[in-house]
Amino acid sequence: MTALQLIGLVLAGMAATLHVAFFVLESVLFRLPLGRRVFGVRAENDSAPLRLFAVNQGVYNLALAIVVFVGIVLVVLDPGAIAGTAVIVAGCAVMTVAGAALAFTAPPRTLPIALAQGIPPLVAIVALVAGR
Protein backbone atom coordinates (compact mmCIF):
# COMPACT_ATOMS: atom_id res chain seq x y z
CA MET A 1 0.00 0.00 0.00
CA THR A 2 1.39 3.40 -0.95
CA ALA A 3 1.49 6.44 1.33
CA LEU A 4 -1.06 8.18 -0.89
CA GLN A 5 -3.40 5.18 -0.64
CA LEU A 6 -3.10 5.31 3.14
CA ILE A 7 -3.85 9.04 3.18
CA GLY A 8 -6.83 8.42 0.90
CA LEU A 9 -8.14 5.66 3.17
CA VAL A 10 -7.81 7.82 6.28
CA LEU A 11 -9.60 10.75 4.65
CA ALA A 12 -12.29 8.49 3.23
CA GLY A 13 -12.76 6.98 6.70
CA MET A 14 -13.05 10.46 8.19
CA ALA A 15 -15.63 11.44 5.57
CA ALA A 16 -17.63 8.25 6.20
CA THR A 17 -17.52 8.78 9.96
CA LEU A 18 -18.77 12.34 9.49
CA HIS A 19 -21.65 10.99 7.39
CA VAL A 20 -22.57 8.61 10.20
CA ALA A 21 -22.70 11.66 12.48
CA PHE A 22 -24.95 13.39 9.93
CA PHE A 23 -27.22 10.34 10.05
CA VAL A 24 -27.49 10.59 13.83
CA LEU A 25 -28.18 14.32 13.67
CA GLU A 26 -30.76 14.07 10.89
CA SER A 27 -32.49 10.80 11.69
CA VAL A 28 -32.18 10.52 15.46
CA LEU A 29 -31.74 13.98 16.95
CA PHE A 30 -33.86 16.04 14.56
CA ARG A 31 -36.89 16.17 16.89
CA LEU A 32 -34.80 17.24 19.87
CA PRO A 33 -33.96 20.89 20.63
CA LEU A 34 -30.32 20.37 19.55
CA GLY A 35 -31.35 18.97 16.18
CA ARG A 36 -33.91 21.70 15.60
CA ARG A 37 -31.37 24.37 16.50
CA VAL A 38 -28.77 22.97 14.08
CA PHE A 39 -31.27 23.06 11.21
CA GLY A 40 -32.84 26.39 12.19
CA VAL A 41 -36.25 24.92 13.02
CA ARG A 42 -37.62 27.18 15.73
CA ALA A 43 -40.74 25.46 17.00
CA GLU A 44 -41.16 21.81 17.89
CA ASN A 45 -44.42 21.74 15.90
CA ASP A 46 -42.51 22.81 12.78
CA SER A 47 -40.22 19.79 12.99
CA ALA A 48 -42.97 17.20 12.43
CA PRO A 49 -43.55 17.92 8.71
CA LEU A 50 -39.80 18.15 8.09
CA ARG A 51 -38.97 14.92 9.92
CA LEU A 52 -39.67 12.71 6.89
CA PHE A 53 -37.14 14.64 4.82
CA ALA A 54 -34.58 14.70 7.62
CA VAL A 55 -34.83 10.96 8.24
CA ASN A 56 -34.57 10.22 4.53
CA GLN A 57 -31.49 12.44 4.20
CA GLY A 58 -29.94 10.83 7.27
CA VAL A 59 -30.42 7.32 5.90
CA TYR A 60 -28.93 8.47 2.60
CA ASN A 61 -25.85 9.72 4.47
CA LEU A 62 -25.59 6.46 6.41
CA ALA A 63 -25.75 4.46 3.17
CA LEU A 64 -22.94 6.55 1.68
CA ALA A 65 -20.85 5.94 4.79
CA ILE A 66 -21.44 2.19 4.55
CA VAL A 67 -20.39 2.19 0.88
CA VAL A 68 -17.13 3.96 1.72
CA PHE A 69 -16.44 1.69 4.72
CA VAL A 70 -17.00 -1.39 2.51
CA GLY A 71 -14.55 0.05 -0.02
CA ILE A 72 -11.98 0.65 2.71
CA VAL A 73 -12.28 -2.96 3.86
CA LEU A 74 -11.84 -4.16 0.27
CA VAL A 75 -8.69 -2.07 -0.17
CA VAL A 76 -7.25 -3.24 3.13
CA LEU A 77 -7.90 -6.86 2.19
CA ASP A 78 -6.36 -6.46 -1.29
CA PRO A 79 -4.54 -3.13 -1.83
CA GLY A 80 -3.69 -3.98 -5.44
CA ALA A 81 -7.26 -4.67 -6.56
CA ILE A 82 -9.17 -1.85 -8.21
CA ALA A 83 -12.63 -2.78 -6.86
CA GLY A 84 -12.17 -1.33 -3.38
CA THR A 85 -10.76 1.91 -4.74
CA ALA A 86 -13.63 2.18 -7.21
CA VAL A 87 -16.20 1.70 -4.43
CA ILE A 88 -14.54 4.37 -2.27
CA VAL A 89 -14.25 6.81 -5.18
CA ALA A 90 -17.94 6.34 -6.04
CA GLY A 91 -19.08 6.99 -2.46
CA CYS A 92 -16.68 9.90 -1.98
CA ALA A 93 -17.73 11.46 -5.29
CA VAL A 94 -21.35 11.60 -4.14
CA MET A 95 -20.25 13.08 -0.79
CA THR A 96 -18.22 15.73 -2.62
CA VAL A 97 -21.11 16.67 -4.91
CA ALA A 98 -23.47 16.90 -1.94
CA GLY A 99 -20.99 19.14 -0.11
CA ALA A 100 -20.73 21.39 -3.16
CA ALA A 101 -24.51 21.56 -3.48
CA LEU A 102 -24.80 22.57 0.17
CA ALA A 103 -22.07 25.19 -0.25
CA PHE A 104 -23.84 26.79 -3.21
CA THR A 105 -27.43 26.62 -1.98
CA ALA A 106 -27.44 26.95 1.80
CA PRO A 107 -26.96 30.06 3.94
CA PRO A 108 -23.38 31.22 4.54
CA ARG A 109 -23.47 29.93 8.13
CA THR A 110 -23.47 26.37 6.75
CA LEU A 111 -20.33 26.85 4.63
CA PRO A 112 -18.05 25.22 7.25
CA ILE A 113 -20.34 22.16 7.29
CA ALA A 114 -20.36 22.03 3.49
CA LEU A 115 -16.57 22.20 3.38
CA ALA A 116 -16.28 19.50 6.05
CA GLN A 117 -18.67 17.37 4.02
CA GLY A 118 -17.02 17.89 0.65
CA ILE A 119 -13.29 18.48 1.06
CA PRO A 120 -12.12 15.27 2.82
CA PRO A 121 -13.79 12.94 0.30
CA LEU A 122 -12.46 15.03 -2.59
CA VAL A 123 -8.90 14.85 -1.26
CA ALA A 124 -9.42 11.13 -0.59
CA ILE A 125 -10.31 10.62 -4.25
CA VAL A 126 -7.26 12.52 -5.43
CA ALA A 127 -4.95 10.60 -3.08
CA LEU A 128 -6.40 7.20 -3.96
CA VAL A 129 -6.24 7.80 -7.69
CA ALA A 130 -2.74 9.31 -7.53
CA GLY A 131 -1.58 6.48 -5.27
CA ARG A 132 -2.47 3.78 -7.79
Render 72-110 in DSSP notation, one character per residue. Answer: HHHHHH-TT-HHHHHHHHHHHHHHHHHHHHHHHHS-GGG
Q: CA triplet 39, 64, 3: central angle to 5 degrees? A: 115
Are 5 and 75 in contact by the 8 Å Cβ rule? The answer is yes
What pTM was estimated for this model as a whole?
0.90
CA distance linking residue 13 with residue 120, whole number of Å? 9
What pLDDT does 50 receive?
Answer: 80
Residue segments in the chain with a per-residue pLDDT below the cut of 70: 46
pLDDT at 35: 81
pLDDT of residue 40: 77
pLDDT digits (tens, 9 = 90+) for 99-122: 999 999 988 888 998 999 999 999
User: CA separation (Å) from 2 to 37, 39, 85, 127?
Assistant: 43, 40, 13, 10
Pairwise CA distance, residues 80 & 85, whole Å: 9
Instruction: Quote the Cα angle for 43-45-50, to 5°.
Output: 95
Alpha-carbon gap, residue 69 to 12, rounded angstroms: 8
Distance CA 91, CA 85 (A): 10
